[in-house]
Amino acid sequence: MLGKKRRIAVMAEGSFTPMDAKTALGVLRYRTSEVVAVIDSGRAGRTCDDCVGVGGDIPVVAGLEAAAAYDPDSLLLGIAPQGGTLPESWRRVVAEALLRGWDVLSGLHVFLADDPELSALARAKGCSIHDVRRPPAARPIAARRAASSDALIVLTVGSDCNVGKMTTALEVHAELQGRGVRSAFVATGQTGIFVADHGAAIDAVPGDFVAGAVEKLVLDAAREADVVLVEGQGAIHHPAYSGVALGLMHGACPEAMILCHQSGRTHMKLSDAGPAPRLRSLSEIIRDNERAAGWLRPAPVLALSINTMMLDDLDARRAIDNAQQLTGLPTVDPVRFGADTVATELMRRLDERKRRASNE
């Protein structure tokens, strides 16, 4: 939750790469003008565009001292270590930022504001700590209420973690808005919250309340929208995060889904070096997601979003064409080539619903 216009230094020490700095990347892509510098000592002197392909000339610097030259008012922790604990080295960095009077924006599972030393420091310096992953205090229990919403609820699902579920939802949302559709984006993870300034990190919600938290977000968004794009989390096939993925799916009760996949990814990303499960075929992943959604409400996968970040333009086109031929579905890389055909597909769906409604 950025909450206001800021001047942000993004901490990405040791990890400022397209695959490792997920939160940094999201903020650089969607709040570009608010980032003044990125910290990663091993890449200091380069630009953001050079390191991760977004963020243009925003400089990468060696540390807080160097970042201070760009006059930030906030430090955003741009890496989300798996497990979410706070390494001691990070603790020192957070303390130093607070000492400089900067706000600290964190998406970690560990809540910095609960640390007595850090919170005392923030108080003393008149700055604040924003733990965007802190779950909502209200804990409604889901009851398939979103299935009765009048809005067209669309969920992005994934073949794995970190394949582009948030980005796809944001890009399709922007494309629809550009076409004059009343669209809403529902942020369900820390990066989405930083970008959208609302939402809830549902992977930090106690298991019993995951679906209920999503249901509330979706129903709130549906009040002012004809299409609700819900950011998915994890993947129903993932050994660690399948529960969050399914809880989110059943809280949202989508009417349609967009499957996101990174081209070239063959195995799931796990937390350690152990043998990672092989990804299933796109057709199997589509089938399984449709089955799981269908336990509560039928929801076809209407389109594919292929993340071609690691490919050149020619191979990217080829990857998209391949996926499209394999599945027969409209396929895009919304970042690279726009979300055009997916938006068109959703608008067709929207028109169909309107026709059906007026016939009733």
Binding region for a copy of itself (CB under 8 A):
82-85, 109, 135, 139-145, 202-208, 210-212, 236-248, 250-251, 270-272, 274, 276-277, 288, 291-292, 295-296
Residue 127 or 202: the one with the smaller Cβ distance to a copy of itself is 202
Residue 16 or 111: the one with the smaller Cβ distance to a copy of itself is 111
Minimum Å gap between C-beta 107 and a copy of itself is 12
Minimum Å gap between C-beta 104 and a copy of itself is 21
Residue 155 or 339: the one with the smaller Cβ distance to a copy of itself is 155
Minimum Å gap between C-beta 213 and a copy of itself is 9
Specify whether the CB–CB gap between 162 and 307 falls below 8 A. no
Minimum Å gap between C-beta 208 and a copy of itself is 4
Rounded Cα–Cα distance for residues 260 and 156 (Å): 7
Question: Tokens 């979103």, residue?
Answer: 146
- Is residue 161 helix, strand or coil? coil
Minimum Å gap between C-beta 88 and a copy of itself is 17
Go through the chain and tell me how many residues it has: 360
Minimum Å gap between C-beta 315 and a copy of itself is 29
Strand-pair category, 152-158 with 129-131: unpaired
Closest alpha carbon to 227 in 297, 149, 292, 152: 152
Minimum Å gap between C-beta 143 and a copy of itself is 5
Rounded Cα–Cα distance for residues 357 and 341 (Å): 24
Minimum Å gap between C-beta 58 and a copy of itself is 30
Structure tokens at 133: 């992953």
- Is residue 30 helix, strand or coil? helix
Exposure string (b/e) for 97-134, b if CB count within 10 Å is 16 or more? bbebebbbbbbbbbbbeebeebbebbeeeebbbbbbbb
Residue 174 or 286: the one with the smaller Cβ distance to a copy of itself is 286
Minimum Å gap between C-beta 120 and a copy of itself is 19
Closest alpha carbon to 171 in 158, 181, 185: 185
Residue 183 or 233: the one with the smaller Cβ distance to a copy of itself is 233
> 226: which DSSP letter?
S
- What's the longest Cα–Cα distance across the chain? 65
Rounded Cα–Cα distance for residues 348 and 346 (Å): 5
Residue 15 or 331: the one with the smaller Cβ distance to a copy of itself is 15
Residue 104 or 142: the one with the smaller Cβ distance to a copy of itself is 142
Residue 270 or 310: the one with the smaller Cβ distance to a copy of itself is 270
Residue 4 or 267: the one with the smaller Cβ distance to a copy of itself is 267
Rounded Cα–Cα distance for residues 133 and 193 (Å): 9
Exposure string (b/e) for 332-345, b if CB count within 10 Å is 16 or more? bbbbebebebbbeb
How many CA atoms lie within 13 Å of 128's alpha carbon, on the beta-carbon side?
7
